[in-house]
Structure 1
Amino acid sequence: MNARLIFATLSLLLTLTSWSQAERRPNVVVFLADDQGWGDLSYQGNQNLATPNIDAIAQQGASFDWFYVCSLCAPTRAEFLTARFHARGGVRGVSTGQERLNVDEQTFVEAFRDAGYATAAFGKWHNGTQFPYHPNARGFDEFCGFCSGHWGNYFDPLLEHNNQLIRGEGFIVDDLTNRAIQFIERHQDEPFLCYVPFNTPHSPMQVPDKFYDKFADVDFEMKNRDPQKEDLAMTRAALAMCENIDWNVGRVLQKLDDLKLTDDTIVVYFSDNGPNSWRWNGGMKGRKGSTDEGGVRSPLFIRWPKHISAGLKIEQVAGAIDLGPTLADLAGVKFQPQKRLDGRSLSPLLLDQQQELPERLLFSIPIKKWKNVSVRSQRFRLDAAGRLYEIANDIGQRTDVAAQYPDAVRELTKAAAQFRSEIAAQMDAETRPFTVGFAQLTQLPARDGKPHGNIRRSAPAPNCSYFTGWKNADDKMTWDIEIGQAGKYEPIVYYAAPKSVVGTTLQLSFVGQTSTGEIRAPHDPPAYGPELDRASRGSESPVKDFTPLSLGILELPAGTGELTLSAPELTSSQGPEIRMLLLRRIP
């Protein structure tokens, strides 16, 4: 090859490389904390802890003064993913299937994937376990974490990676961050979207010693506005967990620096609801589960160097419903679902194109009493009891100004009534069956089943529970299911049982079809988890290391029905404990 041809070839390669770099869309990294309150950051003035890495996202980018999520976990995730109020998408609870996002809802992640992005999520999903609700079916090429609402143990926990069960390594948040960093390294030469929904500081209150020791004996100067309500053990653990989150966020930010991706990456940080205990939260009223300011106001920080001005403060009211359209807009990705969006792009505010957007209303509902709608305008919050608060001047919601602003009360009351009518059908909808056969492997955890007879859950909260208390042959457990693809399936039950249960035959039945498997070996591990807690875990279950047992082959027809696990003949006065069923579709 002569020198002129070599020069021409090199020039072409340089031109193509330059074009590629110029046209490459920005990467996106989204951190979502679980049960971290607005006040659980040093950026907000909390002197009880230090969160320099999270603070830096705000300092180097934009911070939103009035950003709102939902009062509980799963609804916020649904609103973030779809840009629609969660009730519209069928999310009306946090467990037993009510947390599932309707399959006809489009996520903004699907739009990024279709635009050529590598997509992944590492952490707590909480919008459906079985396909097509699973994250791998909602736009994420890779998923590692758990699909439940909360987990019972954070050290070397049982997790899943792309619908396959695995064992985590070390403290769960550190492990999830390691996997996110590895994903970024693998995809550094192409645009990527990395979603990191951490599962802390949600209980159980577990955190490594190196983070907890700082707080072990501290009596904080900054406390909740009603200090008699504060549980200091819970506060110590929660703030230690927040500092662990900050350390892990810093590791991701450092990796972006090392790979020279910082300027090409949009970084977002927010939380899913208010704090999970009474602790300092800027004097706001309410906590997790409440639709007052303290239950639904979240930090929101967005950094994109050379595009979003450092230190930008945005006072316009915004919500989780706005994040999908905003990220799509910033990245030049087309996100235009057929269904009406409640959210809108905030890019004009972030890019200094205009000072404010037209005013609109945000709605909040408590899951168990969804008709109690609270409405937030730019100026006011109208609570479900008809009390009106001028939030900027009364962040603590201490003075009802309804009598002074009757027009505002009428307007917001009318809007709340209209919203109730729009979501009534979804909130009162019949329970959906759990889907089986839409992927080769389907998980049916105890959380999604129903106990009968003496059988009960291992803890009040279903999310990470297992079935226990089996005493006689009439006891059973059932799952309401929909078979998406007829065919042969291998049922695998994860059980624990003492030696006395050996010889018991388990039977699985569905619309007249049955399969069986005999317990041939004892497996009686101890329950664990609470001994690692820094504060009371409340309703979360302890965990056990269950073992699998094949129940042969079951021929399943397409359609809906009740899947029943029973033991017609027990060999002792008790039956096994059951954590989950796996149904493996045989090709």
Structure 2
Amino acid sequence: MNARLIFTALTFSLTLAVWTRAAERPNVVIFLADDQGWGDLSFHGNTNLATPNLDSIAKQGASFDWFYVCSLCAPTRAEFLTGRFHARGGVRGVSTGQERLNVDEQTFAEAFRDAGYATAAFGKWHNGTQYPYHPNARGFDEFCGFCSGHWGNYYDPLLEHNNQLIRGKGFIVDDLTDRAIKFIEQHQDQPFLCYVPFNTPHSPMQVPDSFYKKFADAQPAMKNRDPQLEDLAMTRAALAMVENLDWNVGRVLKKLDELNLTDDTIVVYFSDNGPNSWRWNGDMKGRKGSTDEGGVRSPLFIRWPHKIAAGLKIEQVSGAVDLGPTLAALAGVKFAPQKPIDGRSLAPLLLGDKQELPERYLFSIPINKWRNVSTRSQRFRLDSAGHLYDIAQDVGQRQDVAAKYPEEVAAMKQAAEQFRSEIRTQMEAKDRPFTVGFAPLTQLPARDGKPHGNIVRSARAPNCSYFTGWKQADDKMTWDVEIGQAGKYEPIVYYAAPKGVVGTKLQLSCQGKSTTAEIVAEHDPPAYGPERDHASRGSESPVKDFAPLSLGVIELPRGDAQLILNSPELTAEQGPEIRMLLMRRID
């Protein structure tokens, strides 16, 4: 029998066995931190902060010593959702559409939904904004948060709930947690999958003063292995943000206790990449963006009382690709995508059925340099330059042992080359257009558009930016789109404009059709966000409260096209600033 078929049969048998151990299928709650390093936990020995609630998940369940994610956010999310290396699913960046997970990829959330679970996600999605890339189209019945990779303000922010724009309430992480708790309360009598991808400690470095005051004047005792690189303001803010995460996770754990759901709920906690600054990280080399240990090693804690032994430590190398298959196996849910997965169920390790699984390789690639494959085996890491490190003995990657283990080097180089050949087609694929009309409302943020002429982004990072700098009538912005349904659409522009811009006409055109509307009201809100930062926000854009303006109705054809937003005439020395174009399908 084919080895893959044998493995699939064994996995399915284990799934059925696990399911029979529980009277009902367990609930699943998954917390994903954003830019939290392996070292940002007191459980891992960091005395700079206290994370008792996060630590409790590990103490009451299992902790993984060698768990790996990707070097940046969107790729990790794709691997977690599909059980496949992100490059296979078309994710090759973090913005301008490269973060999108191909629509023919199946997520484990779809499997849980199809098995009768109530499913929801609250937080940062980062695998596509427009349907059918949107989380509501990828297995989550409910979604509240934002689909971008960055957000410029964490207080009362603009969010969306099931593809409808809303205004958040208070500090974003507290708000997302409130919504997750409400979902758990509403679905306590049926199995549920609650995914909470938090957006901190990602910049901007904002956190309530009640958490920051502890660190405002702190002198962290534990520093990065290269202390001259450490930004103390960034470290202080990150520590405060992690303690806020800990508090919010504690709120969810407390709610599970109150509802008598603790024993029937699998709780998972991990992060999406290494730390976003140089701070203590267990002597590891690298940080976010790097494929060295410090950039891709993440905490992973999994708790399921009376099923997973308290205090279990797992030294088997594992990765984000394993989480979907593992949760499906534990819950008795059939997750059998048509495409072969790279991950495997870790249920045998968690349930004490096995001490270790067969040897295999995990691969890491940096964004925009996909040929630079870093390969991890159970013992070694071979970086893209051919240096070999014995990680168990040298987690800091200080001594190259390639000359000592030539056979390991040869085998790992061959595996890396095979992986490169397998992902080449996806990595070199042409850019995909943004989809319009696959749902009644489509968001086309400035992030997904292209500026022309004098128009520029409000910040270097596209994610939460807006278009500004409009000076001439022939300046414009465009969106390359795939229109899923021909027909009439109402374009709605979110704009900001001082009094002098009143009277300016905006025009949206597409393949010879156009619609025009005049700006009749001044809307000149201030930019805000940085005043709440506790450290430099770097490339994050400030935000503004933009106003909607309907441009009337336009007839759009089905298929690939380009939407062009321009002004046939300017009434001032500048045009409006543009945050977003919404396309409302008129059925």
The TM-score bracket by the shorter chain reads over 0.9
Letter in 2 for 1:489: Y
Partners of 1:108 and 1:188 in 2: how far apart? 21
Partner of 1:461 in structure 2?
461
1:36-115 counterparts in 2 under 5 A? 36-115=36-115
Q: Deviations over 1:221-275 (max 9, x none)?
A: 1000000000000000000000000000000000000000000000000000000
User: Residue 584 of structure 1 aligns to a residue in which SS?
Assistant: strand
Letter in 2 for 1:83: G
Where do 5+ consecutive residues of structure 2 fail to align?
A: 1-18
Letter in 1 for 2:145: G
Q: Deviations over 1:326-349 (max 9, x none)?
A: 000000000000101000000000
1:288-437 counterparts in 2 under 5 A? 288-437=288-437
TM-superposed deviation, 1:573: 0.8
Partners of 2:274 and 2:38 in 1: how far apart? 7
1:545-584 counterparts in 2 under 5 A? 545-584=545-584
Partners of 1:303 and 1:85 in 2: how far apart? 25
TM-superposed deviation, 1:23: 3.8
Partner of 2:523 in structure 1?
523
Partner of 1:448 in structure 2?
448
Partners of 2:403 and 2:149 in 1: how far apart? 41
Q: Deviations over 1:101-147 (max 9, x none)?
A: 00000000000000000000000000000000000000000000000
Partner of 2:170 in structure 1?
170
TM-superposed deviation, 1:20: 13
Letter in 2 for 1:304: W
Aligned pairs, how many? Answer: 569
Partners of 2:566 and 2:351 in 1: how far apart? 60
Letter in 2 for 1:476: K
Partner of 1:253 in structure 2?
253
TM-superposed deviation, 1:21: 12
Letter in 2 for 1:454: N
Letter in 1 for 2:136: N
User: Residue 516 of structure 1 aligns to a residue in which SS?
Assistant: strand
Partners of 1:316 and 1:21 in 2: how far apart? 24
TM-superposed deviation, 1:393: 0.2
User: Residue 392 of structure 2 aligns to a residue in which SS?
Assistant: helix
Q: Deviations over 1:174-220 (max 9, x none)?
A: 00000000000000000000000000000000000000000000111
* TM-score, scaled relative to structure 1: 0.96
Partners of 2:50 and 2:525 in 1: how far apart? 40
Letter in 2 for 1:121: A
Partner of 1:509 in structure 2?
509
Partners of 2:78 and 2:22 in 1: how far apart? 33
Partners of 2:505 and 2:130 in 1: how far apart? 27
Letter in 2 for 1:389: Y
Letter in 1 for 2:437: G
User: Residue 120 of structure 2 aligns to a residue in which SS?
Assistant: strand
Where do 5+ consecutive residues of structure 1 fail to align?
A: 1-18
Letter in 2 for 1:404: K
Partners of 1:440 and 1:515 in 2: how far apart? 19
User: Residue 507 of structure 1 aligns to a residue in which SS?
Assistant: strand
Of stretches 22-31 and 355-364 in structure 1, the one that deviates more from structure 2 is: 22-31
Partner of 1:152 in structure 2?
152
TM-superposed deviation, 1:368: 1.5
Partners of 2:406 and 2:183 in 1: how far apart? 54
TM-superposed deviation, 1:315: 0.2
Partner of 1:4 in structure 2?
none
1:544 aligns to 2:564 (yes or no): no
Partners of 1:20 and 1:331 in 2: how far apart? 10
1:192 aligns to 2:226 (yes or no): no
Q: Deviations over 1:529-573 (max 9, x none)?
A: 000000000000000000000000011110111100000110111
Partners of 1:198 and 1:577 in 2: how far apart? 29
Partner of 2:3 in structure 1?
none
Partners of 1:247 and 1:559 in 2: how far apart? 48
Partners of 1:409 and 1:300 in 2: how far apart? 28
Partner of 2:478 in structure 1?
478
User: Residue 568 of structure 1 aligns to a residue in which SS?
Assistant: strand
Partners of 1:520 and 1:568 in 2: how far apart? 16
User: Residue 569 of structure 2 aligns to a residue in which SS?
Assistant: coil
User: Residue 520 of structure 2 aligns to a residue in which SS?
Assistant: coil
Partners of 1:20 and 1:487 in 2: how far apart? 51
User: Residue 214 of structure 1 aligns to a residue in which SS?
Assistant: coil
TM-superposed deviation, 1:24: 1.9
Partners of 1:262 and 1:160 in 2: how far apart? 30
TM-superposed deviation, 1:513: 0.9
- CA, structure 1 residues 583+187, in 2 after alignment: closer, same or farther (shift >3 Å)? same
Identity of aligned residues (%): 82
1:210 aligns to 2:210 (yes or no): yes
User: Residue 321 of structure 2 aligns to a residue in which SS?
Assistant: helix
Letter in 2 for 1:520: V
Partners of 2:385 and 2:297 in 1: how far apart? 19
Partners of 2:68 and 2:215 in 1: how far apart? 29
Partners of 1:354 and 1:508 in 2: how far apart? 61
Letter in 1 for 2:83: A
Q: RMSD in angstroms over aligned alpha carbons?
A: 1.0
Partners of 1:542 and 1:118 in 2: how far apart? 36
Partner of 2:237 in structure 1?
237
Q: Deviations over 1:306-359 (max 9, x none)?
A: 100000000000000000000000000000001010000000000000100001
Partners of 1:239 and 1:280 in 2: how far apart? 11
Partners of 2:263 and 2:348 in 1: how far apart? 19
TM-superposed deviation, 1:383: 0.2
Partner of 2:140 in structure 1?
140
1:32 aligns to 2:37 (yes or no): no
